[in-house]
Each structure stands twice: as C-alpha cells, then as structure tokens.
Structure 1
Amino acid sequence: MSDAEPGLRERKRRATRLAIQQAALRIAIEEGLAAVTVDEISRRADVSPRTFFNYFPNKEGAILGDDPTLPDDDTLADFVAGGPTGELLADLGALLVHSTRELIEERGLIEERQQVLRAAPELFSRRMESMKEFQGAIEGAIVARFAAAAGEAPDEPVDAAGTTPDRRRRARLASLVALAVLRHAWWEWSDADSDTHLVDELERSFADLDALVSRSLV
C-alpha cells in the first residue's frame, strides 16, 4: 500500500463508519427505505444515535457513504503551486490519491449501495450531484494552478486577441479525465480478487494513463 497503515484509533474510527454504512444499506435492502431510521441504524451498528451523528448528518448520508474531497492542507497548496512533479496529470493523480485515502475500502458495500440506489432515483441523483461538486473542486484547483503558473488571477478573462489560453476549458477537460481515471480505478478495485487497495489501483490507473498519452499505440 502507498502509505503507512493507520493506527489503532483510526482503524476503530473506520470500523465504526463502515458498520454504520453496512447497517443502513442492509436495512434498506431487507425492509425498504422507509424502515431506515437513525435509531435502527444505530441499533444494528451497535452505536448510540449521538455517535451516529458524529459520522453522518442524516440517514441518507449513511446510505450514500463517502465521496472523495480535496485535501484542505499543504497538499492542495503544493498542487496549485505546480507540485509535486510539475506534470499536470501525474500531479492530479497524487492529489486524488491523497483524497481517496479517507474512503472506506469495502467491496461488499459497492454492490449493496448500487442495489439501493437503483431503487431510489432521488438518492442516485444526490450521489451524482456530490460527484459533480467534486469535479468542480478539481476544476477550480487546476484553474488556480494555471493562473499561478502564468502569474495571473484565477478568473482573468481571455483578452480580445484570444492569445490568453482558455484555462477554464482546459481545466474542465483535465478534471473530467481525472474523474474517469478514478472511476476506472474503482472498477478495477471492485472487480479484483486479490487483496488490493483502492489507492494502489488509482496509482496504477494514472500510470496506465501516462503510458497511453506518452507513446503511440500500435
């Protein structure tokens, strides 16, 4: 795995978060969405309702689970400044690897969540909206990186002659490519028989992308 194994406290936190999600999904599958309540989730997960709210704002959050978010620390600042390598796609890969470290890695949740979301279009729409927000955050970080490289404000308009690059358009393209790589890694990880980690699959997927764009395919 790409990072040190988490400590005991962190493992307990992740185990509790996983138990809450498992309980929410299994109630929805076995008894329907109407039966999913914070009290019932807490009972099945063997936690108090107060503990539940330390992890999720509501029952829908427990059903939908975790979406990746950009780090709010020096990692993001380093990316905007052009790090860690100076290569945009490689650095996007490093940024997303950092973002996915907090995600719960449990293959069994994937099939159960998909089953629930197929029967609940409103929750599926919320899931898609949260991923759209994540894409927008990535796009914004890339715009800021382009601007920093040019010594300009992030949203400076294209000049009349059109000589200033349309950084927003390029940033959107790059962010969508990054999300496609994340999706590819998720598929590969969920289909794998071996005890791989999502972070490792994401690193492999970005390496595969680099191989595809850096040489001719025959």
Structure 2
Amino acid sequence: MQFLQLCKNIWMSSDLPSLRDRQKAETRLALHQAAVALVLERGLDSATVELITDRAGVSQRTFFNYFPSKEDAVLGLRTPVMDPALLEDFSFRQDVLGQVSRLLLVVASSAHEGVDQVRRRELTRMYPHMIHRLIERMNEAEDLVRGALAGLLAENPHWAAEIREEGMPGDVDDIVRLVVMTASIPLRFTIASGRYSPAAGLAPEDLAPALSLFHSVQRKLL
C-alpha cells in the first residue's frame, strides 16, 4: 500500500468505535457544543467552565478530563495523536517531503477531528487571541512528527549520513527539525490559498498541487 493511500485510509477511517469510545466522544462533543453555544450567547468571558458543564450535564472534574482549558473546549481541540500505522510504508527512497507533509496533516487533523471548521474560524475571528491554542496544537503535532521521523532515521541512518557527506552541517536533530519545518510549508500554503474550504477540510491528496509547485520552485532556486 502506498504511503499516500495509507494516510487517506487512516484520515477517513470508519472503524466502528467501542461503546466506551462512543460515550467519550459524545461527552466531548456535548462539552464542545455547550461551550460554543454559551460563547455565542454570552461572550467568551462569561462562558465559564461551571456554566459549560452545567449545560452539558457533567461535572467540572469531567470537563478537565477532556479539555485543559475553556478555549480548547470552545475550539474543540484535543491533544494530537500519531497512529503507528502511518509509518509502516514510509520510505526514504521517494518524495520524503510529500510523505512528511501528508503525515503532518493527518496528525494535526487528529487534534480537531469532527469539529465544525467554519464555526471554529468564526470564533477565532471573534476572539483572535484563541489562535494561540491552534498554534500550540500544531506545534504538538510537529513534535510528534519530528519524533517519528527521528525514529525512522535511527532505523535508516544512511539518508542523514549522505547529507552530512555532502558537507552540510548539523546533526540528525537539526535535519529532522528542518525537514518537518519545510514539510509544513505546502500544508500552510494550501490552507492559506483560496482553494481551501474550511467546511470541506483537507485530505492528504489535497496537498498535491502545493507539493508539485514547491518542487518546481525549489528546482529553480537551487
């Protein structure tokens, strides 16, 4: 199975969750919807955790099992996760940039799965300071991808060794950080483009035009 197809399959996974997982998802959604409704009704400052939990019908202790802050509940954010299956077909022999870009997209998307992206964008326009929570989650996703890539390089040391043989400075950590930072460019470019629809979201294959353009520009710059 090609890496792109694996990313797409995991991004669109339809495996039936367990009863416990469904209950957890329902509680998370209830808290998120309550938080959004209260912010729209009363404003962010007045939408307290106490009011959110009262409306959702759960305890404040339960709230903090799902969200570390009120802002995370409003935006529907969670800690991003890395599915080990994403790494099974990763190869350093083909389009490493594209693979890492798609990996980053899937991991970053896990932080807000099932959230109304249009409404979230409206809320961040109303309260711009909440964007820092989105940035923090993106940074967490990049940390996960960097860790995964470092592990892959440990199993395939020749790729990084070839870079150093060409006289380039930097250790493996530097190489990993630069690769992930570079791989985020097509993702950020696509989101910033007029072709991106918050309502539709992004699938791994949606990065293809930006990746193609990136490779073309890169060849001209070198």
TM band (smaller chain): 0.5 to 0.7
Alpha-carbon distance change, 15 to 183 in structure 1, aligned in 2, over 3 angstroms: farther
The answer to whether the Cα contact below 8 Å between 2:103 and 2:145 also exists between their aligned partners in 1 is no
The answer to whether the Cα contact below 8 Å between 2:71 and 2:133 also exists between their aligned partners in 1 is no
Q: Name the count of aligned residue pairs.
A: 198
The alignment yields a C-alpha RMSD, in angstroms, of: 3.9
CA deviation profile, 1:22-69 (whole Å, cap 9, x unmatched): 322332343233322222112223444344233123423313432562
The answer to whether the Cα contact below 8 Å between 1:25 and 1:112 also exists between their aligned partners in 2 is no
**Whole-angstrom distance in 2 between the partners of 1:214 and 1:97:** 18
The residue type paired with residue 204 of structure 2 is E
Determine what percentage of the aligned residue pairs are the same residue.
27
Residue 135 of structure 1 is matched in structure 2 by 142
Gaps of 5+ in 1: none
The residue type paired with residue 206 of structure 2 is S
The answer to whether the Cα contact below 8 Å between 1:20 and 1:45 also exists between their aligned partners in 2 is yes
Taking the TM superposition and a 5 Å limit, the aligned residue runs for 1:1-218 are: 2=9, 3-7=12-16, 9=19, 10=21, 12-66=23-77, 69-71=80-82, 74-75=84-85, 78=87, 83-86=89-92, 87=94, 88-96=96-104, 98-99=106-107, 100-101=109-110, 103-118=113-128, 121=129, 123-150=130-157, 163=167, 166=170, 167-184=172-189, 188-190=196-198, 192=199, 196=200, 198=201, 201-213=202-214
Alpha-carbon distance change, 108 to 130 in structure 1, aligned in 2, over 3 angstroms: closer
The answer to whether the Cα contact below 8 Å between 2:80 and 2:141 also exists between their aligned partners in 1 is yes
Alpha-carbon distance change, 162 to 204 in structure 1, aligned in 2, over 3 angstroms: closer
**Whole-angstrom distance in 1 between the partners of 2:153 and 2:61:** 44
The answer to whether the Cα contact below 8 Å between 1:28 and 1:116 also exists between their aligned partners in 2 is no
The answer to whether the Cα contact below 8 Å between 2:150 and 2:173 also exists between their aligned partners in 1 is yes
1:114 CA displacement? 0.9
TM-score, normalising length: structure 2: 0.64
1:135 CA displacement? 2.6
The residue type paired with residue 37 of structure 1 is T
The answer to whether the Cα contact below 8 Å between 1:138 and 1:175 also exists between their aligned partners in 2 is yes
CA deviation profile, 1:159-210 (whole Å, cap 9, x unmatched): 8x983653444433332243344445556240x5xxx4x4xx2312332244
The answer to whether the Cα contact below 8 Å between 2:53 and 2:59 also exists between their aligned partners in 1 is yes
The answer to whether the Cα contact below 8 Å between 1:39 and 1:49 also exists between their aligned partners in 2 is yes
Alpha-carbon distance change, 40 to 180 in structure 1, aligned in 2, over 3 angstroms: farther
TM-score, normalising length: structure 1: 0.65
4+ runs deviating over 6 angstroms: none
1:95 CA displacement? 2.6
The answer to whether the Cα contact below 8 Å between 1:19 and 1:45 also exists between their aligned partners in 2 is yes
